[in-house]
Structure 1
Amino acid sequence: MSEGIKDTSGLSEAAAQSRASVLRSRAESYIALSRHDAAIADLTESIALVPDNARAWRLRGESHRVIERYDTALDDFDEALKLEPDSAYALGSRGQTYAAMGRLEEAMADFEHALTLSPDSLWILEAKADALVDLDRLDEALTEHGKIIALNEELAYSWVARGDLYQRMNFYPEAIDDYTKALEADPDYVRALSRRGEALRMADRYEEALADLNRALELEPGNDRALGSRGAVLSELGDNEAALKDLDAAIELDPDYIWAYRVRGEIFQELDRHEEAVADFTRALHLEAEE
């Protein structure tokens, strides 16, 4: 039971409604604090008191979704949508749940319905774009990212998200442009610096890449991806000793960092350190097989 819960049998209807309302409000604060089990306890009591409140079902579903209890979350969102069939929030959240379960077509149906009700909802557009990427419908995902950026060009995250998609599609100049836009909005955005550094590396612009990755690591020294990328850049610039130091640090931070093993293996191979190269390639193959 959540904090302060008491025996509620025998409450009048007005008292039950009042208690249920306070429980819902407290649950929202628990959710903001990421105390989802406490939120679920409050919402469960609230639903027992007032079963026809769609918000309570939706909030409980959201808590279940965040802690990856997806089947239970779906049940709650279904109940919320029985009470409020045109809730864009419940539809979007249920779509996110379907997407997390790999049920992408059902997710898309919910996102499409939600966007007919709330066409400018950034988080639903983002969720739809992510689902389109998972469906390998990348051009359509780009269109959704364009809509997101058009709604608010000041959001650095939105430029980075589209930049990441461009990079996935090997459109490196476009990715670099988007990361640059993100950094105009937020000059110390580590992800934008790290990802632009990687895109610059892929475009063979190594000195510029190094500058971005150095800045990213000044801001966040323990960023394993930036360390891995800088290691690759340093290797391209002929400094294998420094490259290995970065890759060692990246792997120490994330022992399952497949790409870092592959790059380090290639450097070992170039240095005729073949036993170490074999060990890294073997580790990379083992991790890939586990995915």
Structure 2
Amino acid sequence: MDHSGLSEAAAQSRASVLRSRAVSYNALLRHDAAIADLTEAIALVPDDARAWRLRGECHRLIKRYQAALDDFEESLKLEPDSAYALGSRGQTYTAMERYEEALEDFEHALTLSPETSWILEGKAEALVGLDRMDEALAVHTKIIELNEDQPYSWFARGELYQDMNLYAEAIDDYTKSLELDPDYVRALSRRGEALRMIDRYDEALADLNRAIELKPTATRALGSRGAVLSEMGDNEGALKDLNAAIELDQEYIWAFKVRGEILQDLDRHEEAIADFTRALHLEFGD
């Protein structure tokens, strides 16, 4: 149906409902439906910054990054000081590994909304991309200061510590996260991985068992438990976990590598070669 002949008041009313419906479509991960509604809303009311921003966010979520940038640009022409649009554009630049531009957007956004956690986290991610790790840690510490009662705040800094191979510090942060939420599966899984890295296998196994008990499809926990079981001499149990992890995620590169090593140790070289070949294909396109 052609709605181009609507009065201005009717066009505004229809566009408002379309924007609202798009928000619900987006929440249900029906991004293309949301984009269709927002495209019509923009055609009806081209000067609505929110519609451009929402459509940009939909494009970002489905990795149409250039389309997202184009929409955020239009949104920011209409509302140059929108912290939300700046932060979302920063996230898009980060996904494209354009870290300097991302950082510029995040810093601008933080002058407008200095205590917004997701923007601070975006800034930390951009700093990591630029290998400015100490600055990234400082940003995560600020997030904790603002939200010390939120398990994710501690978890996120723990992940950064772990990526820096600072396992004791990571374990401390995961433990703080788990004190706030004892059933936080991701924190249990990551603490289990960190414990494995410093050869505390019994403690690692306890964490990973609990994570899998809470969420049997926790792919990363299954892979990590497989590695722990292998270190403890239980190759049969290790292969069972790694098989399950790979069945859940056919692109789990690390699991293919670990399973290949175990198969090699068991003199199952054809299967090991297949796993190493798959890992190389996934990581390097071989």
Give TM-score scaled by structure 2 length: 0.92
Which whole-Å CA distance do the structure 2 matches of 1:286 and 1:23 have between them? 43
What does residue range 208-227 of structure 1 map to in structure 2 within 5 Å? 208-227=203-222
Paired residue for 1:183, among 165, 178, 185?
178
Report the secondary structure of 1:238's partner residue: coil
Residue 86 of structure 1: CA displacement? 0.5
Alpha-carbon distance between aligned partners in 2 of 1:10 and 1:246, rounded to the nearest angstrom: 61
| Matching residue within 81, 91, 113 for 1:118 | 113
Q: Deviations over 1:234-254 (max 9, x none)?
A: 122222222222223223333
Q: Match for 1:132 among 109, 127, 134?
A: 127
Change (3 A) 1:18 1:248: closer
Aligned counterparts, 1:1-291, within 5 A: 6-290=1-285
Q: Deviations over 1:147-168 (max 9, x none)?
A: 1111111222222211111111
Amino acid aligned to 1:268? L
Asked if structure 1 preserves the Cα contact closer than 8 Å seen for 2:83 and 2:110, the reply is: yes
Q: Which letter maps to 2:26?
A: I
- 3-state SS in 1 of match to 2:186: helix
Q: Matches of 1:40 and 1:125 in 2, distance apart?
A: 27
Percent of aligned pairs sharing the same letter: 79
1:49-69 alpha-carbon deviations (Å, 9 max, x no partner): 222221121112112222222
Cα distance, 1:272 vs. partner? 4.2
Task: Determine the C-alpha separation between the residues in 2 that align with 1:16 and 1:261.
Answer: 54
> Could you list the per-position Cα deviations for residues 108-161 of structure 1 after superposition, in whole angstroms to 9, with x for gaps in the alignment?
111110011101111111111122222222221111111111111122222221
Q: Distance in 2 between matches of 1:118 and 1:79?
A: 21
Instruction: Provide the rounded CA distance (Å) in 1 between the counterparts of 2:82 and 2:241.
Output: 49
TM-score by length of 1: 0.90
Bigger Cα displacement from structure 2, 242-251 vs 211-220: 242-251
**How far, CA to CA, are the matches of 1:280 and 1:34 in structure 2?**
33
Distance in 1, Cα, partners of 2:181 & 2:189? 13
Q: Cα 1:241–1:67, aligned 2, differ >3 Å: closer, same or farther?
A: closer
Report deviation, 1:77.
Answer: 1.0
Q: Displaced runs of 4+ in structure 1, greater than 6 A? A: none
Q: Following the alignment from structure 1 to structure 2, what is the Cα–Cα distance between the partners of residues 202 and 225?
A: 15
Q: How far is 1:274 from its partner?
A: 4.2
**Which letter does structure 2 place at the counterpart of 1:196?**
R
Instruction: Give yes or no for contact 2:4–2:44 (8 Å, CA) kept in 1.
Output: no
Give the stretch that moved more between structures: 186-195 or 35-44.
Answer: 35-44
- Cα pair distance change 1:49/1:214, threshold 3 Å: same
Change (3 A) 1:67 1:269: closer
Q: How far has the Cα of 1:92 moved from its partner? A: 0.7
Shift of residue 279, structure 1, vs aligned partner: 4.0
> Size of the alignment, in residue pairs?
286
- Distance 1:258-1:61 versus aligned 2 partners, 3 A rule: closer
Give ranges in structure 1 of 5+ residues lacking alignment: 1-5
